[in-house]
Amino acid sequence: MHTQLTKLIGQRFLFRGKVWLIVEILREEDALVIAPEQAAQNQRIQADQYGNATRRCDHCKTLPLSNSDNPDEYSTEVMELLGGRLPEQSSGQD
């Protein structure tokens, strides 16, 4: 059921008054990760304590994918998110 959602990674959604991007589908955890559009655009590469490059996204949210009452349905949070899908932005380069 969640396979179709992978096609939506990187898409923009209006969710609870903010524009969010789907950044990851966590199948094992049955969760969907979203990040505010502004935070996703301002990706900074940051080194961890061992000098390895990492990216920090403090504002990510994890939403449950499946409805707890019926695992064959999406959660109400995911349905709310999907209902706010925004059109793709053009790059402005023609």
Confirm if 19 and 37 have CB atoms less than 8 A apart. Answer: yes
Q: How confident is the model at residue 84 (pLDDT cuts 50, 70, 90)?
A: very high
One-letter amino acid for residue 19 of the chain: V
Domain boundaries, the chain: 2-83
Residues 9-68 pLDDT 10s: 999 999 999 999 999 999 899 999 999 887 666 665 556 677 676 655 557 899 999 999
Question: Rounded to an integer, what distance in angstroms lies between the CA atom of residue 73 and that of residue 60?
Answer: 23
> What is the distance between the alpha carbons of residues 24 and 57, in angstroms, rounded to a whole number?
13
| Model pLDDT, residue 4 | 86
* Cα gap 4→8, rounded to integer Å: 8
Question: Which one is predicted more confidently, 52 or 79?
Answer: 79
Contact present, 33 and 21 (Cβ < 8 Å)? no
pLDDT of residue 89: 75
